[in-house]
Amino acid sequence: MDLHVLDSSDDACFVCANILSDYLKTTPQAKLGLATGGTPEAVYRSIIDHKVDFSQVRTFNLDEYIGLPENHPQSYRAYMEKHLFSKVSIATENTYFPIGGGYDLRIKTVGGIDIQLLGLGSNGHIAFNEPGSSFNSKTRRVKLAPQTIQDNSRFFEPGELQPVEAFTMGLATIMQAKQILLLVTGQHKAEILKRVFDGPVSEDCPASILLNHSNVKVIADKAAAEYLTACV
């Protein structure tokens, strides 16, 4: 894995956005894998600033909650509309979410994902592949780990019903992306990022599967990379 450490979280997001925007400028028909969560919000803000043409781009999101209406503010479709889709020239029919079946086939049919943006869960998950997920997993319905439910509770009002299940791209699906950008920011991710780097490659730490991918850039801020000084 190719590690890039930036001074701040904004800088890390800016670098990610530059990589994605530069790719889109040379590849107008790009297929992008997109992530939600707190980490990538600034990536999308910066991509919008680049004024890239999205008219021929197709996007494949990593996951979607089960049990929320599509227009619920915490659905990942609503997140993407708010942070990116409503602000660029993308057609809704070119934006895909893993709801129902056939997602992996759809990705394959368009030639695969060129660049996959990933965040890292505090328990080592990527997308909603929680610890114990099979490395052979495809897109499927999953139960969220208690840690994930707790981490994401900050996005829901107190007392509001929070989903405990989701559809997620599988680990084998993610590994088929041609290039992966793992964006990790904040001191609270330092320990798990070190665990990913140190290995072993194990289903107990789903993100460790990325050690087996030949084209991964890890873009981290100093806080998240705190325990990786030996590698920098």
Q: Which residues bind ligand PGA (CB under 6 A)?
A: 37-39, 119-121
Nearer Cβ to ligand PGA (40/228): 40
Instruction: Kindly give, in sequence order, each residue whose CB lies less than 8 Å from that of residue 40, ignoring residues fewer than 6 positions away.
Output: 13, 16, 34, 83, 117, 119, 183
Q: CA 162 to CA 81: how far, in whole Å?
A: 20
**Which residue is closest to ligand PGA by CB?**
37
Nearest one of 123, 118, 144, 127 to 192, comparing CA atoms = 123
63 counts as catalytic: yes
Q: How far is the CB of 182 from ligand PGA (least distance, A)?
A: 10
Instruction: Kindly give, in sequence order, each residue whose CB lies less than 8 Å from that of residue 123, ignoring residues fewer than 6 positions away.
Output: 130, 131, 145, 147, 148, 192
Q: How far is the CB of 166 from ligand PGA (least distance, A)?
A: 11
125 counts as catalytic: yes
Nearer Cβ to ligand PGA (39/133): 39
Q: CA 184 to CA 46: how far, in whole Å?
A: 17
130 counts as catalytic: yes
Nearer Cβ to ligand PGA (94/227): 227
Q: Which residues pair with 118 in a beta bridge?
A: 182
The catalytically annotated residue of 64, 104, 114, 130 is 130
Nearer Cβ to ligand PGA (37/170): 37
SS3 content of the chain, % helix, strand, coil (to 5): 40, 20, 40
The catalytically annotated residue of 64, 114, 125, 129 is 125
Nearer Cβ to ligand PGA (53/165): 165
Q: How far is the CB of 55 from ligand PGA (least distance, A)?
A: 28
Instruction: Give the count of beta carbons closer than 10 Å to the beta carbon of residue 61.
Output: 25
71 counts as catalytic: no
Alpha helices in the chain (DSSP H): 9-26, 41-49, 76-83, 103-109, 146-152, 171-175, 190-198
Which residue's entry shows tokens 């869960």? 121
The catalytically annotated residue of 61, 83, 104, 123 is 123
Q: How far is the CB of 196 from ligand PGA (least distance, A)?
A: 12
Q: How far is the CB of 75 from ligand PGA (least distance, A)?
A: 15
What does the block give as tokens for 229? 């000084």
Active site residues: 63, 123, 125, 130
